[in-house]
């Protein structure tokens, strides 16, 4: 579904992505894991076209994404730190996004209901807490029934109840045949979600394997422990 | 594209600065016109206000607005929208709201007191200047990631166009006093939209007679229809070139 070929990106002298190649298929829930500054967010932003790689190609459903924008219709993106125009209310942001996407009919409002966003429609974005903004971002990512969900640190600011509801939603969407790309440092959250792991370090893709393979290779049953083992062995 | 323009304009109209700017222009125009019985004197004072205040407000407001919209732009870029249409819609929204503010603030009083060729030229150049300096602000914001640097650059650009450039021209005139400088002066004036606007308006007034031989050469050139077309074309390229270049930069910018 998404194929990356030899993606490299440099910010000044810093090599953020170094020759990354991989592919992601549907009905998978892929976790992007790696230490801080390993290039996870840059990789996600390259897929979204927000960062333009210095070299390499990214294809989405077989089509090159450079100079293309329609493919983003198929993507729901939840940013690490959701930032919205300060003066707009939640209702206006939701309305604007519906207007931009041009889909008013079949919307997936499960998360809006689950997070009771409807009670907050008149609140201005600048008055919201970090967790509430995360809820809005999450609701927006799922709203337009995209076939790919890209979630950058989704559970970081959510309370335990919301986080549980959110995980249930992710599993439900994956079972519907969608591709879910997720980065998180809270590995215990990922344990019952993910089917594959991409491990990144210093802009390089260290491995991309299924969770069963990882368990077999490290001999650990729990994701937390297997990743901890990988991280320690890669840590200098 | 129209959807984004709509959101930009409603957002700017909710911003009180533009309203204050409009009220300030209204107050300034009505007071200069009612200060003297002869409204042509008020016209000259208003000209100076237009040539100083309009570029300043236009460039500073646009720059700050663009830096404050970073989040909004990021949000839009992750949606199925063309980057070019995001950038151009932002520009269209900003330029049109600044032009509307200018038209209400200065255009209406001018139409009331001076509904003639000079009045129309003043309104037109004021609107064009608003758009030009919004375009220059877009250039500054796309080039600089840092907010403080970007706003600093915008202020420097305004200083350059409204003060430093004239100093440079004077310096050149004195250095080459022995040579005929009248024709090159026409070319030089094209390098500064504020100067060009000033010449365009002054030539409509009788005071151009006081500008000596240079004034005569100017009148000879800018007074003709080719001169008018030339200056209009130059002013237009002051809009098109910065917008085109900043759009190109924005297309490959990392957010």
pLDDT interval class at A232 (50, 70, 90): confident
Q: How confident is the model at residue B89 (pLDDT cuts 50, 70, 90)?
A: very high
Q: List chain B domain ranges.
A: 2-251
Q: How far is A6 from chain B (nearest CA, A)?
A: 18
Q: Which domain holds residue A122?
A: 2-234
Q: What is the DSSP string of chain B?
A: -HHHHHHHHHHHHHSHHHHHHHHHHHHHHHHHHHHSSSHHHHHHHHHHHHHHHHHHHHHHHHHHHHHHTHHHHHHHHTSS--HHHHHHHHHHHHHHHHHHHHIIIIIHHHHHH--SHHHHHHHHHHHHHHHHHHHHHHHHHHH--SHHHHHHHHHHHHHIIIIIHHHHHHHHHHHTTTS--HHHHHHHHTT-HHHHHHHHHHHHSGGGGGGHHHHHHHHHHHTSHHHHHHHHHHHHHHHHHHHHHHHHHHHT---
Contacts of B79 in chain A (CB under 8 A): 72, 97, 100-101
If you measure CA to CA, which chain B residue comes closest to A11? B254
Distance of residue A153 Cα from the nearest chain B Cα, in angstroms = 16
Lowest mean per-residue pLDDT among A185-189, B55-59, B108-112: A185-189
Contact flag A84-B71 (C-beta cutoff 8 Å): yes
pTM for this model (two decimals): 0.88
| Residue B59 near chain A (CB below 8 Å) | no
Per-residue model confidence (pLDDT) at position B208: 61
Is B14 in the A-facing interface, judged by CB distances under 8 Å? yes
Mark yes or no for CB contact A50/B83 under 8 Å: no
Res B139: pLDDT: 93
Residue range A169-190: mean pLDDT, rounded: 88
Residues of A whose CB is below 8 A from B78: 48-50, 72, 75, 77, 79
Q: How far is A82 from chain B (nearest CA, A)?
A: 8
- Chain B residues near residue A88 by CB distance under 8 angstroms: 11
What CATH number should be reported for the domain holding residue A193? 3.40.50.300
Task: Measure CB to CB from residue A101 to each of B68, B70, B79 and give the nearest one.
Answer: B79
CB contact under 8 A, B255 and A69: no
pLDDT tens digits, one per residue of B26-59: 999 988 888 877 777 788 888 888 899 999 999 9
Contacts of B1 in chain A (CB under 8 A): none
How many separate domains does chain A show? 1
A101 to chain B, closest Cα gap in Å: 7
Q: What is the ipTM of this complex?
A: 0.84
Give tens-digit pLDDT for A99-119: 888 766 678 888 888 888 889
Say if the Cβ atoms of B76 and A49 lie within 8 Å: no
């Amino acid at each position: 579904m998404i194929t990356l070929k030899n993606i490299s990106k440099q910010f000044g002298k810093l090599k953020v992505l170094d020759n990354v190649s991989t592919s992601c298929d549907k009905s998978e829930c892929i976790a992007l894991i790696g230490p801080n500054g390993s290039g996870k967010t840059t990789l996600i932003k390259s897929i979204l076209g927000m960062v333009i790689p210095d070299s390499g190609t990214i294809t989405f459903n077989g089509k090159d994404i450079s100079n293309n924008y329609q493919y983003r219709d198929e993507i729901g993106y939840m940013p690490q730190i959701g930032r919205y125009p300060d003066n707009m209310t939640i209702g206006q942001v939701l309305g604007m996004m519906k207007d931009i996407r041009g889909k008013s009919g079949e919307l997936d409002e499960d998360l809006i209901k689950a997070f009771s966003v409807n009670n907050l429609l008149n609140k201005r974005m600048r008055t919201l807490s970090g967790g509430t903004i995360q809820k809005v971002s999450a609701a927006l990512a799922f709203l337009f029934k995209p076939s790919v969900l890209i979630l950058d640190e989704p559970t970081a600011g959510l309370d335990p109840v919301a986080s549980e509801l959110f995980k249930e939603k992710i599993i439900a969407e994956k079972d519907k045949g969608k591709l879910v790309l997720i980065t998180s440092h809270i590995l215990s959250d990922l344990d019952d979600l993910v089917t594959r792991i991409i491990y990144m370090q210093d802009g390089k893709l260290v491995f991309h394997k299924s969770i069963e393979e990882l368990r077999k290779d490290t001999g650990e049953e729990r994701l937390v422990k297997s990743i901890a083992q990988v991280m320690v062995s890669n840590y200098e | 594209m129209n959807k984004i323009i709509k959101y930009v304009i409603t957002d700017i109209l909710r911003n009180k600065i533009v309203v204050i700017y409009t009220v300030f222009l209204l107050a300034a125009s009505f007071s200069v016109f009612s200060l003297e019985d002869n409204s042509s004197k008020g016209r000259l004072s208003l000209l100076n206000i237009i040539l100083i205040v309009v570029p300043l407000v236009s460039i500073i407001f646009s720059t700050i607005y663009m830096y404050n919209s970073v989040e909004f732009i990021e949000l839009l870029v992750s949606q199925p929208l063309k980057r070019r249409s995001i950038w151009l819609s932002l520009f269209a929204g900003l330029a049109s709201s600044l032009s509307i503010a200018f038209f209400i603030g200065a255009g209406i009083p001018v139409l009331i007191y001076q509904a003639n060729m000079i009045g129309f030229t003043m309104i037109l150049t004021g609107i064009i200047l608003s758009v030009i300096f919004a375009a220059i602000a877009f250039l500054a914001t796309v080039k600089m990631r840092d907010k403080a640097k970007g706003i600093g650059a915008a202020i420097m650009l305004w200083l350059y166009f409204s003060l430093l450039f004239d100093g440079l021209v004077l310096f050149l005139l004195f250095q080459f006093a022995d040579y005929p400088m009248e024709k090159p002066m026409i070319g030089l004036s094209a390098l500064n939209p504020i100067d060009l606007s000033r010449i365009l308006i002054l030539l409509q007034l009788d005071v151009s007679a006081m500008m000596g031989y240079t004034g005569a050469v100017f009148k000879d050139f800018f007074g003709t229809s080719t001169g008018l077309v030339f200056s209009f074309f130059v002013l237009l390229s002051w809009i098109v070139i910065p917008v085109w270049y900043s759009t190109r930069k924005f297309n490959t910018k990392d957010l």
